[in-house]
Amino acid sequence: METAAAEWTAFPDGVPERRRGRRLGTWSAALLFLGVSAVVGCRVADTDGITPVPQFLAFLPWLLVPTGFGLLLALFSRWWAGVVWAVALLGLLAWFIEPYGKSSEPGGPPLASFRVLTSNVEFGHATDALVAAVRREKPDIVFVQECEYTCDATLRQALGTDYPHRAAQVAAGSAGSVVLSRFPLTSAEGVPSTMAMPGAVADVHGHAVRLQLAHPMPPLPGGTDLWRRELGELRDFAAKEDSTPLILAGDFNASQDHAAFRRILDTGLRDATRLTGDDRTPSWPARTAPTFGVQIDHVLLSADISARTARFLDLPGTDHRALLTEVTLHRRR
């Protein structure tokens, strides 16, 4: 009797200690499940919702952690409805973690192979590191975001001989962008945005390839409408650009878990990392990648361009990892 009394020692309000612990576990699990359900529900509904849903959607695979912890709490609390809830959430998360977008290969014969690199140099701080990477990796086309005046001058001086062709909209802070090319470029209208997104047409061994840099505004709290609108501008551009092979590359500030980005892929573009099996490799924030992060830097290809390899490069001075891809242009069927 003394042992039983000790086991069921009651608080002053008369609630047994073990029952109190289970109730706390149930409520804690329920709060976790409610938060995850709000994000997963938006994913199911194919919408990005409002702040903070877009921010959490970027890290969708990591929602497995609070969901798994909530499942343990539900089991400890013997909350069987919560266990079912957790299993359903885990199943949905596992389903949506699967790669999104087309992965078919072009049917026409290969015409030319070349290398494409995209890098956000964070206000130009990583310009010197980018120059070293370009000299080492020797890409044929380089997309540079957040390239301000000093960055532009450094690229001209250090790489101007090897990359004599450029399409640039240089501005202060994060607004400037530059496209460098070994291939001749002709001017093309870019996509309207807050931060520069210049475009050009490259002559790749006698074949025209449309180049378009991407750098929409990030989904800042209170600024998700602007983020969504600028991704929509990229989507409209991709939907119209079907007469020329297209490379759309840069810092999209969005992952495959964002509906606004998936609508760009729905135009028929393929993510190079999807084609090479690297679609969940994080590119931001560089400080914690590749252990933790999200892939928001992409090289998107039209149906007549294939990707052989995709590799992320760590550059000191920026919170983004650069993305280097080897692509092949094919003749259209």
194-206 pLDDT tens trace: 999 999 999 999 9
Asked if 316 and 207 sit in the same domain, the reply is yes
Asked if 184 and 324 sit in the same domain, the reply is yes
Range of the domain at 265: 110-330
pTM of the model: 0.92
What DSSP letter does each residue of 224-244 carry, written as one string? HHHHHHHHHHHHHHHHH--SS
Mean pLDDT within 284-305: 96
Q: Residues with Cβ < 8 Å from 76, sequence gap 6 or more?
A: 22, 25
97, 131, 147: which is the final residue of a domain? 97
In a domain, 20, yes or no: yes
Asked if 52 and 137 sit in the same domain, the reply is no
Asked if 64 and 135 sit in the same domain, the reply is no
Q: What is the CATH number of the domain that holds 123?
A: 3.60.10.10
CA dist 228 and 241 (Å) reads 20
Asked if 42 and 166 sit in the same domain, the reply is no
Mean pLDDT within 56-62: 96
Q: Residues with Cβ < 8 Å from 98, sequence gap 6 or more?
A: none
Provide the β-strand partners of residue 271.
300
Asked if 275 and 127 sit in the same domain, the reply is yes
Burial class (CB in 10 A: 0-12, 13-18, 19+), 180: buried
pLDDT tens digits, one per residue of 120-129:
999 999 999 9
Please give the residue that has the higher pLDDT: either 137 or 8. Answer: 137
Confidence of residue 243 (pLDDT cuts 50, 70, 90): confident
Asked if 177 and 43 sit in the same domain, the reply is no
Average pLDDT, the chain: 94
Return the pLDDT at 46: 97
Tally of domains in the chain: 2
Return the pLDDT at 7: 45
In a domain, 128, yes or no: yes
- What is the percent of the chain with per-residue pLDDT over 90, rounded to a whole number? 89
Asked if 119 and 63 sit in the same domain, the reply is no
Asked if 243 and 268 sit in the same domain, the reply is yes
